[in-house]
Amino acid sequence: MNRNYTALHHLKRVFPKIVSAFLLSVLVFVSFFDLAQSAAGVPRIISYQGRLANAAGDLQGGSSGTTFYFKFSLHTASSGGSQLWPANSATPCTHSLTVTNGVFNAGIGDTSECSDILDYDFTQNDTIYLQVQVSSNGSSFETLIPRQRIDSSAYAITASTLISTSTQSRLGTTTSIGSSLLTVEATSTNSILVSLRSFLNQVADIFQIQDSFGTDIFTVSGGGNIGIATSTPSQPFSVHGNALISGNLSVANLIATGTTKFNGVTYTWPSSVSAGNFLQTDGSGNLTWAAASASGGGFTDSGTLVHLTTQTDNLSIGTTTPDVRSIVTIGATSTTANLLTLKTQTGQTG
């Protein structure tokens, strides 16, 4: 049944950190505003109050109240356009409301009245219209026209800079720094500019910086590990890639799992440790373990005796051209050099 209803509407929109108030009328539109403190768990509910009358101007419901049925939806235009909420052009749920002397109150998004959750992101569109449908029997609905545009209050416009895509946001100052989208300035020497506190047993990252492709540049994991160029830092400080440190680097322990470079020379380390051995290089920076030997320079130290390692070798001292007939050749290194000096012990008997 079409009763040609008209309505005078009072509308208050509530979403996180901003409470904006609106007065909507089918015939006359006047806006006003108020401001509420932000708090955890602010309900996403539009508190809607209206006065319902028929085409002749008679207020509906009487003094004892009568049940009427309402449907609410959000659209991109005053007529036609696209439905923004409920999403995917779904049919709005039905609110069963008592109308008394024409006055009714609705909580749009209040699931105790109706199943539709107000999950629309109001930051995605600054031109939004509310459509109201009414019925006296719950089956045949009349759409009230025109749709009413939802306009924000002055305080809401100011607060919207915190979530704007085109306006620089500021906290603690009225002046943005350069082209920064968000400027946070200390208001005293004791100010802590930003505090982030994780949830108990936090799983998701506490903080992220990403490039335009969504690749993590800087990450603080839920466990507190810091990662540079990695989204999964496994240590308190994890860097994937090269690092340049111009000052001193002090470490308690150094673990190198690949190559190291000192003074322009790259060294490759062996993968295991060998006790009692020493490191030797092949001249190309490849380090290997070599067994320590008692021999060196052609001599062998047998404990109480030092002898030529190869018994058939000749011993040459002071010259590189020994007499091939001699087992020992001593060559003078100057005209004043003594070729051989034998010195006895005091009280020598042998």
Reading the block at residue 187, the tokens are 């208001």
Determine the 3-state secondary structure of 295 from DSSP. Answer: strand
User: How much is the pLDDT for 163?
Assistant: 66
Report how far apart, in Å, the C-alpha atoms of 294 and of each of 94, 288, 304 are: 97, 19, 12
> What per-residue confidence (pLDDT) applies to 31?
30
Q: Can you give the pLDDT at residue 8? A: 55
Q: Terminal CA-to-CA distance of the chain, rounded, Å?
A: 142
Distances (CA, A) of 21 to 49, 133, 146, 218, 275: 11, 21, 20, 40, 80
> Whole-angstrom Cα distance, residue 128 to residue 203?
37
Q: pTM score, two decimals? A: 0.47
DSSP 8-state secondary structure symbol assigned to residue 120: -
pLDDT for 1 equals 47
Q: What is the pLDDT of residue 73?
A: 96
Q: Give me the tens of pLDDT residue by residue for the chain, a chain 350 residues long.
A: 446 666 555 444 333 332 222 223 332 222 322 333 334 455 688 888 988 998 888 999 999 999 999 999 999 999 999 999 999 999 999 999 999 999 999 999 999 999 999 988 887 888 999 999 999 999 999 999 889 898 876 666 666 666 666 678 888 888 889 998 889 999 999 999 999 999 999 999 999 999 999 999 999 999 999 999 999 999 999 999 998 999 999 999 988 788 888 888 898 888 888 787 888 888 888 888 887 665 556 888 777 888 888 888 888 888 888 888 888 888 888 889 888 888 888 888 87
Contact status, residue 56 vs residue 192, Cβ threshold 8 Å: no
The pLDDT assigned to 219 comes to 96
SS3 123: helix
pLDDT number for residue 15? 34
287 touches 270 (CB < 8 A): yes
Distances (CA, A) of 311 to 71, 298, 299, 314, 319: 111, 10, 10, 8, 20
